[in-house]
Amino acid sequence: MPRKKSLEPHLRGLVDLVSATLDEGTRQVESVHRRIADIPFSVLKKIRPIAPISSAVHMVEKKITHSAYDTVRLVAKVGAQAVHNVLPTDPASQGIAKPEYKLDHDAILRDKKKPRKP
């Protein structure tokens, strides 16, 4: 009887690929976001009366933006771990040998059909 191939390693690899893509993708988008958001703040910092306030607002904006992207990365990692936890594991891939016995299904069915003594 040919051995059935498991999709588990492929699914795990796909989950890891999606997780890594989300991680790197959010880093790239955050970098672009950062460069775009820095433009108006660099102009505002040149206006002396509002420079201290714009610097403080810029710092808060950076923290909030980073936290948002960091949260997306964290959720992607937690989601990947959750999927890994629910995927069935092939015992052979974990070094667990198959049982050496075979179930006699016919015998089990015969035993079920026998009347039980009270």
Specify the pTM.
0.65
The count of other CB atoms within 10 Å of the CB of residue 80 is 19
Identity (one letter) of the amino acid at 16?
A: D
**pLDDT above 70 for 103:** no
pLDDT tens string 47-66: 999 999 999 999 999 999 99
Residue 1 has pLDDT above 60, yes or no: no
Residue 55: predicted pLDDT: 95
Burial of 23 (0-12, 13-18, 19+ CB in 10 A): middle
Q: Which of 95, 98, 85 is nearest to 8 (CA)?
A: 85
Q: In the prediction, which pLDDT does 100 show?
A: 60
